[in-house]
Structures are given as C-alpha cells and as structure tokens.
Amino acid sequence: MTRRSLYPAIEPTERGRLRVSALHEIYYEVSGNPAGKPVVVCHGGPGGGSTPSMRRYFDPARYRIVLFDQRGCGRSTPHAELRENTTWHLIEDMEALRRHLGIERWQVFGGSWGSTLALSYALVHTDRVSELVLRGIFTLRREELDWFYKEGANWIYPDAWEAFLAPIPEAERDDLMAAYAARLDADDASVRLEAARAWSVWEGTTVSLRPSQERMQSFSGERFALAFARIENHYFRAGGFFEREGWIIDEASRLGTLPGVIVQGRYDVVTPMKTAFELDRAWPGGKLVVVPDAGHAASEPGIVSALVQATDSFAG
C-alpha cells in the first residue's frame, strides 16, 4: 500500500481562550469543516503545546479539528505553571472545552503523553468518545520512566545521555528526576534554563530514527524548554497523579469495544513497544499497528501514514 502523507496546511477558522480556573486559561483553535466529525488532539509532553502540523492528520473536508494547549504550555497561561496542573485537571479542561464548543461526542487523538491523556479521558468520559487514535503509548508506570531516565535508552544514546547528565553532580545522579526538579525550581534563572534545556534536548534527540535540526532548535528554545521540562518533571515525579501505578492498563478493558487504533514505531526509544502491546491485549476494541521502520515521532513517514489511514477510516 502506498504510504499516506499529511493533508495540506490549513489555518484555523476559530481561535479562542477558555478560562478553566481562577488561575488557568487555555488556548484553543478549531479548523476544518464546521459541520464535520469532531476530533480533539491531545498534544505530547506534558508541556509540549500544540503545533500547526497537528491539524494535518485529518481530512479538513470531513473533520472539525480541535487543538488546545494544556495548562501551563503553548499559548495557555500562566506559562510553565505547576499549581492546579494534574491529569485530572486536564481531563476536566477537555470536558469544559467540549461543552463550550457544543460537541456531543468526539474522536480523541493523541501521541506519547497525548496517548496518556486521551486514554485517561476516555476511561473517565467513555460516553463522550467516538474513537481513539493513539501513537507511542505511554502510561507513566515506573518501569517506563526508569527506562528513559535511569537505565535503558542511555545504552542506545550514550552520547546524548552524557549531555543529559552534565548539569547534575555525580552524587545526585541516583535520582535524576529529583535532582532536575531542584534545578528546574531554582531561584537562579540561569540554573533553571540550563536544566530545562538539558532535559528537553535529551528527549528531542531520541524521538526519531533520524535527527531533525528543526526539532532540536524548537526543543532547545527557552520558552519551550522551560514549560516542557518543568511540567514533564512535575507529572513524572507524581506518576501522572494516578490513584495507583498501572491504572490505565489495568482499567483498559473497560473501554470494551470502543473502536481505536494504536500506532507504534518498532524502534521507539522514548516509549518502547511493550506498553502498546499490553494495551492492545487489554483493550478489546483497540487495533495495534506496528510501523517497522519508525521510532517515536509523529512526523516519521510510517507513523504519519498509519495515523492518516486511521483518521480516514473513522471519518464517516
């Protein structure tokens, strides 16, 4: 089968800001067909923010495409804020946005941390989800976090790992998340920025089979890195704020026959395939699609093709 590519770039038909608490206001946008099938995109990170390319995984003639920036990142305010910022807050933000836009049910699309949020939302508000389209499955279990921040990915990227370790003294390297948390919350702005860039660049270096200079420029930018590193570290140290470790996989059977596609790169170093495999076994309605020549990034050709095929199949 010929590989699919992204749909042409489009501009939003609507942009807005939604007050979700006394502290937080989130940015959202709508594009595509106002009468089309609704879909909401959960971006990665947490703390990554939405990008224009996220509109392009959907046929704009058949979809009403909703993007939003989660609390503390992108164009949402306040920037890099950790207070009132948990998975449960984000789930209710999605519900507030759905009601604000007058949508009854929507497809939920997300990759990496976006898959975590999409699955969590679907488990809490199953009746509001028409389908799930997921990529690079991540559930914040300790073994997943240890793979990337303790032992595993560093065997594949020892050079990038060396740079990731650089801001942390040898004596503190037994708990890198805690060591980074101290620096990301430091009074000295230069210490915060050095830690944020090192944290962000480690992930940016490992997400795809082939390096991307454009991605590295984005991940090392001051504004992006500060939100990305601070919010990721905050969520990861808390295990996603779930009531117990493994909550998503344990509860996935409750999704029943809710239809969905799980797209997973075989050589994904950030969120290895084991978690996607376990989700596929636990969720009757999910269909696992393994891309044999891809890593983690949504922009890799095989991942793009599988995601576009999935959204086309659900366009109705």
Residue 102 is encoded by which pair of tokens? 């007058």
Out of 76, 268, 280, 305, the active site residue is 268
Cβ–Cβ under 8 Å, residues 239 and 228 = no
| H-run or E-run covering 184 | helix 176-184
98 contacts 106 by C-beta, under 8 angstroms: yes
Name the helix (H) or strand (E) containing 218: helix 213-220
According to DSSP H, which parts of 238-300 are helical?
247-251, 273-282
Catalytic, 120? Answer: no
222, containing H or E segment? helix 222-237
Catalytic site includes residue 112: yes
From the candidates 208, 280, 296, 305, give the one annotated as an active-site residue.
Answer: 296
3-state secondary structure of 248: helix
**Whole-angstrom distance, CA of residue 3 vs CA of residue 303:** 10
3-state class (DSSP) for residue 61: coil
User: Active-site residue 218, yes or no?
Assistant: no
Q: Which residues contact 257 (CB under 8 A, 6 or more apart)?
A: 284, 285
Q: Which residues contact 24 (CB under 8 A, 6 or more apart)?
A: 71, 72, 76, 77, 78, 81, 84, 85, 89, 93
Q: Which one of the listed residues 31, 50, 76, 112 is annotated catalytic?
A: 112
Q: Where are the alpha helices (DSSP H) in 47-165?
A: 87-100, 113-124, 142-149, 153-156, 158-165
Report which of 294, 285, 237, 241 is spatially closest to residue 265, judged by C-alpha positions: 294
The residues that are catalytic are: 112, 268, 296
